[in-house]
C-alpha cells in the first residue's frame, strides 16, 4: 500500500493521509506520464506540423523577441532563455537542439529558423554552443505566425499561469508534410518524411476543388533535403500513404567521370537522409583498408556546399558493381521508416489525440483547420472594422455641431462630465464620445472630415464584402485556395520548388553478388585449440605458424577465398563463413567469438573446408558424438550456405551435455567410443540414423553414473 498526502502543513497532511493500492497509484502515474509525453513532447500536431517545443520557440521569437526576417540577429541564448522562462520548463539542451534542427537546411526541407554561425553540418558536426550563435525567423516561418494576433487560434495559460501561449499556430501551409517529423512517445512513435513544398501545396489546392482528389497525382513521394534516389514503385507508395505506415529504400546518387586510359572515377553526389557524410566516408574507407573490395583504391571527400565524394577505381573496373557492393555494405543505401502518426484535434480545443492517418486525411485535417482559421480571421477583421466604423460615424455626427461641442467641453468639469454632456446632446455612446475627446481638434477641420467620410465609405464597403464572404462557404473556400496559390508563388521565389529526391521504381544496376567482389586466391585458415583463427596466403609448416604461449593448431583449412568453411561447436551449432571473411593475419589472429555470437563455454570442436577439391560438393554425412554417449548422423548439404553470426543448429545436446567429436562419415565406417572409466565400444555407422534436422541422436555407449565419453574415432572399411 502507498500513502498519499494532501498539500499543506505537516499536521494537516497527517490528518488527511489516505492509503491507496501501489499498483493503482503506479498505473495512474504512468498513464499521466504517457499522456504528457504523447501530447506535450513527442508527437506533432496535424494542423501546424509542430511539436510543442518547436511551436514555443517560433512563438517566442515572433511575439516576444520580434525576430522577424528583417530584424537583426539575436543570440540563440536569448531565445533559449525566453522559451525556458515563459513556455517550456525543460532542459536548455533540448530547446537549443530543436532550434538548431529548424535552422539546418539538411534536416528540414524548408527551414524555419535563419541561423547565423555554426549550426552543424552534413558531416555530423554538432552546432556551436548557444552563446556563440545567433538566429531569427525565416520568411516561411512567418506563414505559420502572421495571423496569430487576429484571434485565429485558441490560447491557454503557460505552465505558471503568468503568460499565455497558442495551442496551435495558424499555419498557412501543411508544415507536417513539408518538413516531416520524428519522435518516440510511450507505446507509439512517428516518422513522417519531408515532402516537396510545391507538390504539397498543389495537392492541397486540388483537394479544395475535389474532396476525393488523389494527392498522389501531385505528390510523387518524399522529397528529402539531402536528395537521393527513392527505390519505390507507385503501388508501394500508394500502399504506404493509404495505410500510414511502411518502409522505403533510399540510396545516394552517383555519376561517373572519365579520366582517360580506361580510368573511371565515381563521384557520389548525394547521401541518404539522416546519414552523416563523414560516417559514410569512414565506412567506405574501412572497406578499402580491409581489402574487401579490391577494385576500390581510394576515397576522398571533396565536398563544399554540394556533396562530392570521389572514389578511385582500378583500371577497367565496372563502376556499377562497385556501387552495388557499397549499397549493400555501407550506409550509402538505407531504409526509411514511414509512420504517419500525429495529434488530431478533438471537441475540446485544449486536447488532441494521437492517430495514424493516411496522406489524404492529413491534407483534409489541414484544409479544415485552414478554413476555420480564415473564418476566425475574417470575424476578427469584421469586428475591428465595425468598431472603426462606429467611431467614424461619431466623428461625422458631431462635425456639424463642432462649435457647440467645443463650448460644451469648455464648460464641463473634466473628461467624464464632457463625455456625459456630449452623449446627451448628440446621441453618442461612450466609445464615440471617448474617441472624440481624445482626437486633436485639427483633425476635425473640413479637409480632415472629408478624409474621415472617405475612410467611412471604404470601411463600410470592406465590411460588407467580408460579411458576404462569411455567409458563403464557397467564397471562404475560394479565399483559402487563393491564399494557397499565393503561397505557391512564395515557394517559387524562395527557391524551394525544385525536387531534390528522385523516385525510381527500379534501376538498371546489377544485383548484388558477393562472389563478384572476392578476389580469387589460394589461402589457408588456421584454427587453434584456444579458439583463435586467422588466414594466411602461404603455410609451409603449421607447427611454425605464430601462436600464443601454450596454444596449438587444432585444424588447418585449405581452399580458395571464394569457398566456404563450416565451424562446428560443442553446443550443437554450425557457423558457416567464406574463407575470405577469416581475418588475414601474420600474428595470432582474432578470437573466433569475435566473428560469431558464441554462448558461455562454447568452443569449436572441428572445422571443415567446403572447397570441392577438399570436401565432396554433395552427399557428405557427418557423425557427431556427445559426452553422454549419444551419437547422430547428419547431412553436410544443409550447411553449404553462409550463416549469420548466430549460426545454425545441427544437434541439440541436453542441459549439461556437449558434442565432443564431429567428422565426415562414409558408408561402412566403424564408430569407436571410449569413456573416462575405460569402457569402449565399436559399432557400424549404418546403425546410426541420419537425421533430417537437429536432434539428440541415439545411444551409442551406455554409461554408468558419473562416467562420460572422452573421445571418439572413425575407422574405414580397410582398417577393420
Q: Which three cell numbers stand for residue 504?
A: 525510381
d(CA 646, CA 651): 15
Give the number of residues written for the chain: 720
CA distances from 593 to 248, 552, 603, 658, 690 (A): 34, 18, 9, 18, 29
d(CA 73, CA 285): 40
Question: Which residue(s) pair with 333 in the sheet?
Answer: 251
CA distances from 358 to 89, 187, 361 (A): 33, 20, 5
d(CA 409, CA 259): 93
Using alpha carbons only, give the angle 664, 670, 673 rounded to the nearest 5 degrees: 90
Using only C-alpha atoms, what is the Rg of the chain?
Answer: 39
Q: Name the nearest CA neighbour of 215 among 195, 192, 245, 189.
A: 195
Q: Which of 30, 33, 132, 512 is catalytic?
A: 132
* Long-range Cβ contacts of 253-257 (<8 Å, 24+ apart): 253/227, 253/228, 253/229, 253/502, 254/319, 254/323, 256/319
Q: Name the nearest CA neighbour of 626 among 687, 693, 569, 706.
A: 569
Pairing of strands 333-339, 341-345: unpaired
CB neighbour list of residue 704: distance below 8 Å, 6 or more residues apart: 677
Active site residue 575: no
Q: Name the nearest CA neighbour of 684 among 666, 704, 697.
A: 666
Q: Which three cell numbers stand for residue 458?
A: 471604404
Contact 544, 567 (CB under 8 A): no
d(CA 421, CA 442): 22
Pairing of strands 341-345, 352-356: antiparallel
d(CA 229, CA 222): 10
Which run of H or E residues covers position 556?
strand 553-560
SS (HEC) of 475-496: HHHHHHHHHHHHHHHHHHHCCC
**Which amino acids are annotated catalytic?**
132
Amino acid at each position: 500500500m502507498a500513502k498519499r498526502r494532501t498539500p499543506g502543513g505537516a499536521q494537516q497532511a497527517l490528518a488527511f493521509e489516505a492509503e491507496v493500492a501501489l499498483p493503482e497509484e503506479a498505473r495512474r502515474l504512468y498513464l499521466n506520464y504517457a499522456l504528457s509525453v504523447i501530447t506535450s513532447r513527442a508527437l506533432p500536431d496535424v494542423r501546424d506540423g509542430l511539436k510543442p517545443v518547436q511551436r514555443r520557440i517560433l512563438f517566442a521569437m515572433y511575439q516576444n523577441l520580434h525576430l522577424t526576417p528583417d530584424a537583426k540577429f539575436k543570440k540563440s541564448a536569448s531565445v533559449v532563455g525566453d522559451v525556458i522562462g515563459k513556455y517550456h520548463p525543460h532542459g536548455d539542451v533540448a530547446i537549443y537542439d530543436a532550434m538548431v534542427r529548424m535552422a539546418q537546411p539538411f534536416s528540414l526541407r524548408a527551414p524555419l529558423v535563419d541561423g547565423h554561425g555554426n549550426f552543424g553540418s552534413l558531416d555530423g558536426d554538432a552546432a556551436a554552443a548557444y552563446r556563440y550563435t545567433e538566429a531569427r525567423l525565416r520568411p516561411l516561418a512567418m506563414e505559420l505566425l502572421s495571423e496569430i494576433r487576429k484571434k485565429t487560434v485558441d490560447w491557454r495559460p503557460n505552465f505558471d499561469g503568468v503568460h499565455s501561449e497558442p495551442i496551435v499556430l495558424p499555419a498557412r501551409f501543411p508544415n507536417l508534410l513539408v518538413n516531416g517529423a520524428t519522435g518516440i512517445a510511450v507505446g507509439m512513435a512517428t516518422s513522417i518524411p519531408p515532402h516537396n513544398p510545391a507538390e504539397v501545396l498543389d495537392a492541397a489546392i486540388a483537394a479544395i476543388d475535389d474532396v476525393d482528389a488523389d494527392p498522389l497525382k501531385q505528390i510523387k513521394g518524399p522529397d528529402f533535403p539531402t536528395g537521393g534516389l527513392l527505390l519505390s514503385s507507385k503501388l508501394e507508395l500508394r500502399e504506404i500513404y493509404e495505410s500510414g505506415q511502411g518502409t522505403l529504400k533510399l540510396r545516394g546518387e552517383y555519376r561517373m567521370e572519365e579520366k582517360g586510359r580506361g580510368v573511371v572515377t565515381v563521384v557520389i553526389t548525394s547521401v541518404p537522409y539522416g546519414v552523416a557524410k563523414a560516417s559514410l566516408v569512414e565506412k567506405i574507407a574501412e572497406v578499402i583498408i580491409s581489402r574487401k573490395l579490391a577494385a576500390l583504391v581510394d576515397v576522398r571527400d571533396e565536398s563544399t556546399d554540394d556533396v562530392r565524394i570521389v572514389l578511385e577505381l582500378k583500371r577497367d573496373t565496372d563502376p556499377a558493381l562497385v556501387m552495388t557492393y557499397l549499397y549493400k555494405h555501407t550506409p550509402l543505401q538505407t531504409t526509411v521508416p514511414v509512420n504517419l502518426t500525429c495529434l488530431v484535434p478533438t471537441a475540446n480545443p485544449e486536447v488532441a489525440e494521437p492517430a495514424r492517418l493516411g496522406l489524404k486525411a492529413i491534407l483534409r485535417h489541414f484544409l479544415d483547420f485552414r478554413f476555420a482559421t480564415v473564418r476566425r480571421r475574417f470575424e476578427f477583421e469584421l469586428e475591428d472594422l465595425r468598431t472603426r466604423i462606429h467611431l467614424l460615424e461619431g466623428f461625422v455626427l458631431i462635425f456639424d455641431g463642432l462649435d457647440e461641442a467645443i463650448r460644451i467641453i469648455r464648460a464641463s468639469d473634466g473628461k467624464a462630465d464632457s463625455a456625459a454632456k456630449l452623449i446627451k446632446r448628440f446621441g453618442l455612446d461612450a466609445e464615440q464620445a471617448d474617441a472624440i475627446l481624445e482626437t486633436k481638434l485639427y483633425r476635425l477641420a473640413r479637409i480632415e472630415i472629408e478624409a474621415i467620410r472617405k475612410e467611412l465609405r471604404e470601411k463600410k464597403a470592406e465590411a460588407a464584402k467580408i460579411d458576404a464572404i462569411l455567409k458563403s462557404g464557397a467564397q471562404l473556400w475560394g479565399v483559402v485556395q487563393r491564399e494557397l496559390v499565393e503561397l505557391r508563388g512564395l515557394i517559387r521565389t524562395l527557391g524551394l520548388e525544385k525536387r531534390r529526391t528522385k523516385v525510381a521504381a527500379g534501376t538498371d544496376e546489377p544485383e548484388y553478388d558477393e562472389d563478384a567482389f572476392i578476389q580469387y586466391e589460394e589461402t589457408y585458415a588456421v584454427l587453434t585449440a584456444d579458439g583463435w583463427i586467422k588466414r594466411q596466403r602461404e603455410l609451409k609448416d603449421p607447427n611454425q605458424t605464430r601462436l600464443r604461449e601454450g596454444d596449438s593448431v587444432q585444424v588447418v583449412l585449405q581452399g580458395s577465398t571464394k569457398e566456404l568453411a563450416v565451424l562446428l561447436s560443442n553446443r550443437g551449432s554450425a557457423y558457416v563463413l567464406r574463407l575470405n571473411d577469416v581475418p588475414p593475419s601474420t600474428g595470432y589472429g582474432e578470437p573466433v567469438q569475435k566473428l560469431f555470437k558464441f554462448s558461455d563455454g562454447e568452443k569449436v570442436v572441428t572445422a571443415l573446408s567446403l572447397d570441392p577439391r577438399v570436401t565432396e560438393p554433395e552427399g557428405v554425412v557427418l557423425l557427431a558424438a556427445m559426452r553422454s554417449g549419444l551419437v547422430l548422423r547428419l547431412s553436410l548439404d544443409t550447411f553449404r550456405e553462409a550463416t549469420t553470426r548466430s549460426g545454425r543448429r545441427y544437434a541439440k545436446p541436453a542441459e549439461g551435455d556437449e558434442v565432443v567429436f564431429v567428422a565426415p562419415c562414409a558408408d561402412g565406417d566403424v564408430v569407436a567410443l571410449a569413456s573416462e572409466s575405460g569402457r569402449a565400444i565399436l559399432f557400424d555407422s549404418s546403425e546410426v540414423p541420419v537425421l533430417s534436422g537437429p536432434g539428440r541422436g541415439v545411444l551409442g555407449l551406455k554409461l554408468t553414473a558419473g562416467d562420460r565419453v572422452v573421445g571418439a574415432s572413425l575407422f574405414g572399411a580397410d582398417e577393420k
